[in-house]
């Protein structure tokens, strides 16, 4: 079942083209990793897919319906988004912040079932002991896991995540990716993750899409996409890709000329 499809999407900031001709789909049970150097358009693409930015062309289809024809409450019940920055909400507790993910389903009261979903998400992401802490008191990595938990309690079919592991230590990086892949495979979710760590992406994503200067350079299984030629062409580095492990593993050798972009 195709949960998310993007067809010929383009986007520009004023006269600067950022994305051109982006086409891909994500099936139920699949984790798609978006990779590419700084400034290639990963964050912009995720914001276009979520509807925060209006594409200049193309369309986004969410479970067979065009995103632009859906009410935001409907979108929130079908697709969750975890931003790159977790913010710094000082007045809310961890429990209250995660409970906000239930807003698409709440009327005037919070049911015991809503609270149980929050508790389950906190436990899943090793946050149970922080439930009553203020979010502003947490580390950046803890806040990031809170935002992921908030997305999980939305109980959507699609989850978009923008650099969800950037503030996490290695153990929690792996833990979060294990959770996301497990939810995709066990619950039939479609997960789209923008990542900088190519080795993490190759290990946990079913497919990778490489963006380069706003267009798709490569799209396929990690063993097809993560090549020495791609690393040279897209990232400008000399590297060796080891293929004697369960997933391809990139070992950088030396950098090339630094690329522009943010």
Predicted pLDDT of residue 87:
61
pLDDT at 260 over 60: no
pLDDT at 1 over 80: no
pLDDT at 94 over 90: yes
pLDDT at 8 over 90: yes
pLDDT at 143 over 80: yes
Q: Indicate the pairing of strand 30-35 with strand 190-194.
A: parallel
What does the pLDDT average to over 73-98? 84
CATH number (3.30.70.3270, 3.40.50.300, 3.30.70.260, 3.40.50.10140) of 2-86+156-255 reads: 3.40.50.300
Q: What is the pLDDT of residues 25-56, one digit of tens each?
A: 999 999 999 999 998 999 999 999 999 999 99
What does the pLDDT average to over 2-8? 93
Q: What is the pLDDT of residues 188-215, one digit of tens each?
A: 999 999 999 999 999 999 999 999 999 9
pLDDT at 251 over 60: yes
pTM listed for this prediction: 0.91
Q: Which stretch of 3-12, 66-75, 88-97, 204-213 has the lowest confidence by average pLDDT?
A: 88-97
Predicted pLDDT of residue 160:
97
């Amino acid at each position: 079942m195709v949960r998310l499809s993007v067809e010929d999407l383009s986007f520009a900031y004023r006269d600067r083209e950022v994305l051109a001709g982006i086409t891909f789909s994500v099936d139920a049970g699949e984790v798609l990793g978006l990779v590419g150097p700084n400034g290639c358009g990963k964050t912009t693409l995720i914001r276009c897919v979520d509807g925060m930015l209006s594409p200049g062309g193309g369309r986004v289809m969410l479970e067979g319906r065009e995103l632009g024809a859906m009410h935001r409450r409907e979108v929130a019940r079908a697709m969750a988004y975890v931003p790159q920055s977790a913010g710094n909400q000082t007045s809310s507790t961890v429990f209250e912040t995660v409970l906000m993910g239930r807003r698409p389903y709440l009327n005037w009261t919070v049911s015991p079932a809503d609270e149980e979903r929050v508790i389950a998400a906190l436990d899943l992401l090793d946050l149970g002991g922080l439930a009553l802490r203020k979010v502003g008191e947490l580390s950046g990595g803890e806040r990031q896991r809170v935002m992921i938990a908030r997305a999980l309690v939305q109980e959507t079919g699609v989850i978009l995540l923008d650099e969800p592991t950037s503030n996490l230590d290695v153990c929690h990086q792996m833990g979060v990716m294990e959770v996301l892949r497990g939810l995709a495979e066990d619950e039939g979710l479609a997960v789209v993750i923008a990542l900088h760590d190519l080795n993490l992406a190759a290990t946990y994503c079913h497919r990778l899409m490489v963006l380069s200067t706003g267009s798709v350079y490569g799209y396929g299984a990690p063993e097809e996409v993560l090549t020495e030629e791609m690393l040279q062409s897209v990232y400008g580095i000399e590297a060796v890709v080891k293929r004697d492990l369960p997933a391809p593993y990139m070992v950088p050798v030396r950098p090339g000329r630094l690329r522009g972009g943010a």
